[in-house]
Chain A
Amino acid sequence: MRPSSSASRDDQFRLYVTQRRGGLLRVATLLSAGNAHRAEDLVQNVLLRMYVSWPRIRSDTRDAYARKMLVNADLDERRRRHARVEVAYAEVPDDVMVEDAEPTDTEAAVFRALAELPPRMRAAVVLRHVADVSVAETADALGCSEGTVKSQTARGLAQLRTALNGNATVERGHRHD
């Protein structure tokens, strides 16, 4: 018997989540400057939106699509943050997945430095130097020109370098690596 289309969608989606969720979560963690709960929210949001649009997303563009949605979700959430109203739930939501893994001192310093970058600059740095995405794909994800990606990335790295140079913990950890 042929599998139904929804079973096929579920199977493909399940495989995608198994293979790619970790990478997306890492990118989201850096976009969120180390806020693991926010990163988890972003990834969950992106994955469910991908599932809804699954038939329209070509298999060879899924990763690019996911990264674009992740960056959009990050920027949108920051834009909305000031207007956010806390919602009270009658019950504790299920599926709480985040286990707080304490960052090392070096990671904490990197997160603090990332938090000081403007969101789009941080996204450019993370996509280029963490997710290893090309300049062209980063430009597509951010909706800007390739020249803007290059300049934002260069300025972002320079700001991070300035913030972390002179940080004794980072320099000590770095020497030991």
Chain B
Amino acid sequence: MIDIERLLDQTARSAEATPSPEVVEADVRRARSALLQRRRRRAVWTSVASTIAVAAVIGAAVVIGADRNADTPTAQPNATQPQGQAPGDDGVDLVTYNGEQPPGFIVNLVPEGWYIQKPDHGAYSLAIARDGDTSSPDAFVGKLVVGLLSSDASVPTHGEPVDINGREGVISPSDGGVTTLTFPYTDGRYVQIQAWSMADLGWSNDQLVRFAEGITVTASAKAGVG
């Protein structure tokens, strides 16, 4: 009778040899090059986002000017919607989540002082809210929302590319203060995270990525429709 575990243990041992300095340096060189490319893509994306923001401000100014010309009292519009890029490292920390896990997903990290709301309708999506927020789990404003991409929705391609556990996801432009991260999961389905909003959390895209990397989708997760 073959001891299969021992056989496996003895297979491909030669691959384990310590790499030569040339191999190591080639890895470093490739990695530096990949980082440089990523920074270039990021710079292009930031430039596009800034252009859109400037256009929005100019558009708002034109509307205000037209209103003033009409001598109509008008509420001052919000100066700018929060962009995907948030203030930096001083935002809400991510901490390990030890509470009860929701159906459909396993969440490893949550913002400190936040909790997972028990979903009303099973394993379609889950809302993570601040302590003290007792609004319905179906109300998403001010929360982090995790779900599968709707079965009738197309995968977003426009936005900042990010790496989620070795897979390429995309952070879509902030829309109405909501930042959306979409990425493929191991089983071929797509996970979508909405942050309402990054500015409230004081998060950068990197923190959203860290949060996403702590998400596990279980077999019971269901994609909504519409």
Residues in A lying within 8 Å of B, measured CB to CB? 10, 13-14, 17-18, 21-23, 25-26, 28-30, 34, 36, 39, 44-53, 55-56, 65, 68-73, 75-76, 79, 95, 97, 101, 103, 106-107, 110-111, 125-126, 129-130, 140, 142-145, 148, 157, 160-161, 164-165, 170-171, 174, 177
Contacts and interface: CB of A to CB of B under 8 A. Distances in A.
Contact of B15 (A18, A26, A65, A73): A26
Contact of B34 (A14, A51, A55, A160): A51
Contacts, number: 144
Contacts of A29: 12, 15
A76 B19 contact: no
Contacts of B31: 13, 47-48, 50-52
Contacts of A26: 12-13, 15-16
Contacts of A52: 31, 34-35, 38, 163
Interface residues of B, number: 49
A22 B15 contact: yes
B3 interface: yes
Contacts of B27: 13, 17, 21, 44, 47-48
Given A76-B167, A107-B11, A174-B2, A48 B34 contact: yes
Interface in B193-225: 206, 209-210, 216-219
